Amino acid sequence: MEAIPANKATPISLAQHTYWNLAGHNSGSILDHSIQIWAKHVTPVNENTIPTGEIMPVQDTPFDFTTEHRIGERINNVPGGYDHNYVLDSGDEKNGLKHAAKLKDPSSSRTLDLWTDAPGMQFYTANYVNGITGKGGAVYGKHAGVCLETQGFPNAINQPNFPSVVVQPGAKYKHTMLFEFSA
């Protein structure tokens, strides 16, 4: 994704918001999927799900996916479910991209590996999806998909300790993500 501000400094943080369910679009919940996220920190949120500016270690919390865990294993310990920005601060690199996440479905054996050059990734478990009609008339409910949105940190414009999302006039914002699938 690319953008170039024409004449004013502009906050830019584009995100791709695909809902993934590796078992198939009409297969129910993603709570049995497992995920590993290469991040040792998250940006906690307030009651309105806006990041507070804190950068919190994930170790020994329900946010710790530094090793593979089922998504549903600890989701009930997170009020509302997962909708949090992970600080991509660990993991392998390939072609200038960081390994952000590995998502697996046990029923289909499908795997998604996500690589990016963005500093953060929003991990969202479709907590507010309820009765959405989709492909082929399928009705999607809560936790029917998972989003892995590589991006700048949400609320970065108001948090001086977050990486800046302001792009100067004429400068190019560029954000790359690579999705690799296997079975």
Q: What is the pLDDT of residue 90?
A: 79
Check residue 102 and give its pLDDT: 98
Question: Is the pTM here over 0.75, yes or no?
Answer: yes
Residue 168 has pLDDT above 90, yes or no: yes
| pLDDT score recorded for residue 91 | 78
pLDDT tens profile 133-153: 998 999 999 999 999 999 999
Q: Is the pLDDT of residue 36 over 90?
A: yes
What's the confidence (pLDDT) of residue 4?
96
Domain 2-182 has CATH 2.70.98.10: yes
Say what percent of the chain tops pLDDT 70. 100
- Give the per-residue pLDDT at 173: 96
Mean pLDDT of the chain: 96
With bands split at pLDDT 50, 70 and 90, how would you rate the model's confidence at 183? confident
Average the pLDDT over 5-34 and give the result: 95
Catalytic residue positions? 17, 149
Please return the burial class of 154, using the count of CB atoms within 10 Å of its CB with bins 0-12, 13-18 and 19+: buried
Percentage above 90 pLDDT, the chain = 93
**DSSP class per residue in the chain:** -EE--SSS-EE--------B-TT-TTS--STT-EEEE--SEEE-B-TTS-B-S--EE-TTSTT--SS-EEGGGSGGGSTTS-EEEEE---S-EETTEEEEEEEE-TTT--EEEEEESSSEEEEE--TT--SEE-GGG-EE-TTS-BEEEEESPTTGGG-TTSPP-EE-TTPPEE--EEEEEE-
Give the list of residues 6+ apart from residue 143 with CB closer than 8 angstroms, or none.
Answer: 29, 30, 31, 71, 72, 75, 81, 125, 126, 127, 129
134, 139, 141, 146: CA torsion to nearest 10: -30
Q: Is the pLDDT of residue 31 over 90?
A: yes
Instruction: State residue 98's pLDDT score.
Output: 96
- Which pLDDT band holds residue 101 (cuts at 50, 70, 90)? very high
